[in-house]
Structure 1
């Protein structure tokens, strides 16, 4: 039944085009003779008409004009019509010259294809417009009134697609480009700049606005969101630019603006060709592969088609979850799940010698500041310092070309155990780099990542969902934020640039006041501060008001990447220092948190535990300051 129906529709369309071909040939004669065709040329028209129309019909079918669906007619269909008509127009003079004893005015040969393209293209687009009006017109009239912020290509695509859902009824567009004001886009007027959103939303009774600026700067998009918040309209946004160009989603898949959109940054550009040279068809190992950064590193590495990713992880559940994700999303990438603890050097050595990775990304760490400040302080030393040294030594013994330590801004002038252990881990990698060998050691520091496990944003979301209060430790506390994909991409970039012993510092952009972040999240939820209160609870143990990416006495030098700099950290030139550190780690560590902090401060002179006064003197056996930042 469907085949016969398709055949009949194809026949109808073919007959329609034949009728349009007759009309075009006739109109060509009319226009040539100013609508008064002389008798001798009436005979010319009648004699040539059937031959010309049959030839055109055959060419049209050869060009596949009847395989398309009129209701979805678009620019490619018009291009196909132009090609078919151009081919048919070449046949017309040949037929007349070879087979007929009549004269056809030369201008008719020119006018006919022009008219035929206009008639055939116009018929198809008129039919599409009629069908869309009939099917979606009623839906669009019933949808929610919405304003679109932006009047560029994305807005045009959005207008073409959005009406089919029946969810929205676009009542106007706003754009800061003054040249677009009072112009129309698909019949809808550009009402004015985005700053006038409140007035236009009130006049048009629009309670929602869609931000259609995926390829604009982050600051421009943030200003648009702020305008929505001030105007009291619900901000929506189109998918990200990367998602749109990848084809994963369409521009009509609008969603609510999330706090990540406010804190997000402009897209990162990495040296993809050189990274592909490093990773393609090679094995790469990631420790802590089930965590926020580790799992994202695995995803980013998968983009460069490695031969295998060795996922080293202590948690069976997290490792299973990662493997299941890769089975579904990256079936072409082989993932080797290895369960193990980074403190077990034999297990690490076995994995590296078995799979021979070209790079090891060490992301395994305890990172929660308050948890590591008390009775867990000794575990932070064993895992963050001991685990790092175990992984780094295994890499050096196995001849792994590159080892990258994922560090944190809390390692700069640390005031908590977590930051101090990460700084000591950095120093250990510097010492191993100074020892020599084929492995290139490098460290990458960055701040908080958006949406990572235990971070502030998921916590605020839960508190707002419960109706508050939203707890902020201090009204002036600030933090740097970076998206997880951006952090992972820049870690890969830094790994590519490492030459041995560097500490790479990532550009974290502008710091964010946590209290302002809480207010933004409350407003985005549709509530106000009178509905959801903000409560200041006081700084937690080991918490700073602000985080630094560089110590105050530290300088940096640029790299060829605008978002990556290198810290000028003094090299560790005491050959015996590393041995003393290793003996300390393998010996009996104190159990009392205060004693742990005191001993840790001897190894990291810039570490001043909160409330513990000035830093203790260095350990007598050697100048620990050789490991500090200069």
Structure 2
């Protein structure tokens, strides 16, 4: 193997010279072997004519080998086409022998060209195959041994790609299709999933690659659940849609998607609901640079609005989403006009001027502070942005005669234990009270839980902590949350908004809640690691429980009461919930505005507790400025 490494490390010109020299020896050996096999003697040793035939045969054969590109082929990637070229070239060389024998009038039995051809194929082709096998075996020892789960088209294609790569060496297929068991596909045996644990131990496997881009999430979840029990790292090929549209290739292995851990299949959107409030209309999204706001914008652009206004406080966030959407519009030859605007939802004049200037017809209000601890530590700004930001945006929409107004709400607004959830419930109450007044704007709100991949999501934190290799932090062993993907949430928001009649509270079907500690354990196991516990002190990653954060609940709810009705969409429900008449609610907002202006946190809390928002705080006032003033004895 050392000699082979030395040869492969030489410059390509030297490799070709070595190949030519070796083929010269092979042609000579095949020539001698053919005569000795047929005549049991070598008559050309005493005849100059035979030597002339041999020299011309070597020269003509080597020239032909060069012309057909035999010395340009890289042996470690020798293909079936290259082998066919070798066989054809050897046949031409045998034909050269017949022609030269005829012109030089030497004794040449008819069997000798055939024997010569066979020997030359064995020597020239066999030697190349041998080098390919030796190099492949040497490279295989340096690769990670992997099992591919899925012996379909994707699995076979992945196996071929991995063999030519430098990272993974596929050793077997796993599949649940019974008719494939014990069959050999692309040189790999297909095994039952029940054999996986035994194979991992026997074949020293440390990675399993999922090659099922077409499978439903529920199917993938069932498979992943079996893999989390094994100490192997699990990787996955990209989603089938990404492979089809060219945004990813089959060999771009990635971590198992969190959506697959949840196992919740996306429900197909209804086109008539998606474009009802968007197609050929002027649409505006507040908070357009945020996680939900930006995804709303991506979905809206695909529904062919007349123009899309991006309203965002963060300059960088606005720049990013404007650049992305502009490239998308140009790349797909869409006719949507993208209008990026900086602004705060706390400035009613700015909002009204924008809405009137562009004659906005549909408004999605996604601008909000949503991180529970941050709002708990910055109460006044949370109240200003979430309650009054929604209030001012709604008043501006009424003044500008906006047709449809959709508020993005949260499950934390249901029986809130923190300021953030309370401000979002107050925002809902704002729209419910305004919806009962006389005007031309339809108000509705859409309430849902956590979305995967949003800013502040727990998943990126877990992945970073696992990569660091010390511990994963979970607030409480019993905490559970609802999860949904951002694209699905955005689609459902758009569809729910299209069904609003006025003052509707829509609730999205989030599926089954997920225990956060189980999510952390699965991520650790899928990284090929073990959880470190008192029962398993030699594990890799410990789970540390840090305690509930200020205002945090063990579980979230989506409904305040039991008054819920079905809608035209199976994943969208509508809730009938109580609210205050606008004149009464307006007085509460006036008092709250004064308390915020004076930074009177005690009054702010009293007002929030008195309002029918269901506020039931688990902690005292957490505003950091208020605490600092208290410590210094400042009134």
Within a 5 Å distance, the mapping from 1:56-67 to structure 2 comes to none
Match of 2:457? 455
The CA deviation at 1:133 is: 12
Q: CA deviation digits over 1:176-227, x for unaligned, max 9?
A: 232332334344332112x432112223333221112223232321232233
Match of 1:243? 242
From 564, 567, 587, give the equivalent of 2:594: 587
Task: Answer whether contact 1:139 1:165 (CA < 8 A) is retained.
Answer: no
Match of 1:61? none
Pairing 1:598–2:596 present: no
Task: Answer whether contact 2:218 2:263 (CA < 8 A) is retained.
Answer: no
The CA deviation at 1:361 is: 0.7
Please say which of residues 604-613 and 494-503 is displaced more in the overlay: 604-613
Match of 1:343? 346
Match of 1:538? 547
From 570, 583, 587, give the equivalent of 1:576: 583
Match of 2:566? 558
Give the whole-Å Cα distance in 1 for the aligned partners of 2:414 and 2:309. Answer: 31
Task: Answer whether contact 1:558 1:564 (CA < 8 A) is retained.
Answer: yes
Give the whole-Å Cα distance in 2 for the aligned partners of 1:173 and 1:489. Answer: 37
Q: CA deviation digits over 1:19-49, x for unaligned, max 9?
A: xxxxxxxxxxxxxxxxxxxxxxxxxxxxxxx
- Seen in structure 2, the aligned counterparts of structure 1 residues 132 and 307 have a Cα distance that, compared at 3 Å, is farther
Give the whole-Å Cα distance in 2 for the aligned partners of 1:394 and 1:134. Answer: 76
The CA deviation at 1:388 is: 0.4
- Seen in structure 2, the aligned counterparts of structure 1 residues 152 and 610 have a Cα distance that, compared at 3 Å, is same
Match of 1:43? none
Match of 1:609? 617
The CA deviation at 1:585 is: 4.2
Match of 1:54? none
Task: Answer whether contact 1:264 1:482 (CA < 8 A) is retained.
Answer: no
- Where do 5+ consecutive residues of structure 1 fail to align? 1-70, 74-130, 614-630
Within a 5 Å distance, the mapping from 1:223-238 to structure 2 comes to 223-238=222-237
Give the whole-Å Cα distance in 2 for the aligned partners of 1:214 and 1:190. Answer: 19
Q: CA deviation digits over 1:266-307, x for unaligned, max 9?
A: 233111244235423332111011111111111111222323
Give the whole-Å Cα distance in 1 for the aligned partners of 2:352 and 2:451. Answer: 30
Pairing 1:168–2:168 present: yes
The CA deviation at 1:479 is: 1.0
Give the whole-Å Cα distance in 2 for the aligned partners of 1:340 and 1:260. Answer: 34
Give the whole-Å Cα distance in 1 for the aligned partners of 2:255 and 2:548. Answer: 32
Give the whole-Å Cα distance in 2 for the aligned partners of 1:225 and 1:172. Answer: 18
Match of 2:190? 190
The CA deviation at 1:151 is: 3.0
Task: Answer whether contact 1:420 1:604 (CA < 8 A) is retained.
Answer: no
Q: CA deviation digits over 1:220-265, x for unaligned, max 9?
A: 2123223333222221111113323434323333223254542363
- Seen in structure 2, the aligned counterparts of structure 1 residues 266 and 137 have a Cα distance that, compared at 3 Å, is farther
Give the whole-Å Cα distance in 1 for the aligned partners of 2:350 and 2:211. Answer: 51
Match of 1:474, SS state, is: coil
Task: Answer whether contact 1:554 1:569 (CA < 8 A) is retained.
Answer: no
Match of 2:344, SS state, is: coil
Give the whole-Å Cα distance in 2 for the aligned partners of 1:600 and 1:424. Answer: 8
Match of 2:285, SS state, is: strand
The CA deviation at 1:473 is: 1.6
Q: CA deviation digits over 1:335-374, x for unaligned, max 9?
A: 2111111011111111111122231110111111122224
- Seen in structure 2, the aligned counterparts of structure 1 residues 272 and 425 have a Cα distance that, compared at 3 Å, is same
- Seen in structure 2, the aligned counterparts of structure 1 residues 247 and 463 have a Cα distance that, compared at 3 Å, is closer
Match of 1:271? 270
Q: CA deviation digits over 1:552-596, x for unaligned, max 9?
A: x33311122221111122354x35224323423443436244432
Task: Answer whether contact 1:258 1:524 (CA < 8 A) is retained.
Answer: no
Match of 2:229, SS state, is: helix
Match of 2:70? none
Give the whole-Å Cα distance in 2 for the aligned partners of 1:497 and 1:258. Answer: 32
Match of 2:476, SS state, is: coil
Match of 1:212? 211
Task: Answer whether contact 2:313 2:343 (CA < 8 A) is retained.
Answer: yes
The CA deviation at 1:494 is: 1.0
The CA deviation at 1:446 is: 0.9
Please say which of residues 461-470 and 340-349 is displaced more in the overlay: 461-470
Give the whole-Å Cα distance in 1 for the aligned partners of 2:588 and 2:80. Answer: 71
Match of 1:497? 499
The CA deviation at 1:330 is: 3.6
Give the whole-Å Cα distance in 1 for the aligned partners of 2:572 and 2:133. Answer: 50
When the two structures are superposed, what TM-score results if normalisation uses the length of structure 1? 0.71
Within a 5 Å distance, the mapping from 1:208-607 to structure 2 comes to 208-263=207-262, 265-276=264-275, 278-331=277-330, 332=334, 333-374=336-377, 376-530=378-532, 531-551=540-560, 553-570=561-578, 572=580, 574-589=581-596, 591-607=599-615
Task: Answer whether contact 2:213 2:239 (CA < 8 A) is retained.
Answer: yes
- Seen in structure 2, the aligned counterparts of structure 1 residues 498 and 153 have a Cα distance that, compared at 3 Å, is farther
Give the whole-Å Cα distance in 1 for the aligned partners of 2:546 and 2:602. Answer: 24
- Seen in structure 2, the aligned counterparts of structure 1 residues 403 and 236 have a Cα distance that, compared at 3 Å, is same
Task: Answer whether contact 2:592 2:604 (CA < 8 A) is retained.
Answer: no
- Seen in structure 2, the aligned counterparts of structure 1 residues 441 and 313 have a Cα distance that, compared at 3 Å, is same
Give the whole-Å Cα distance in 1 for the aligned partners of 2:80 and 2:497. Answer: 48
Q: CA deviation digits over 1:531-554, x for unaligned, max 9?
A: 332221221211111111112x33
Task: Answer whether contact 1:293 1:488 (CA < 8 A) is retained.
Answer: yes
Give the whole-Å Cα distance in 2 for the aligned partners of 1:484 and 1:148. Answer: 29
Task: Answer whether contact 1:139 1:166 (CA < 8 A) is retained.
Answer: no
Please say which of residues 529-538 and 256-265 is displaced more in the overlay: 256-265
Match of 1:486, SS state, is: helix
Task: Answer whether contact 1:259 1:520 (CA < 8 A) is retained.
Answer: no
Task: Answer whether contact 1:264 1:483 (CA < 8 A) is retained.
Answer: no
Task: Answer whether contact 2:232 2:527 (CA < 8 A) is retained.
Answer: no
When the two structures are superposed, what TM-score results if normalisation uses the length of structure 2? 0.70
- Where do 5+ consecutive residues of structure 2 fail to align? 1-78, 82-127, 533-539, 622-635
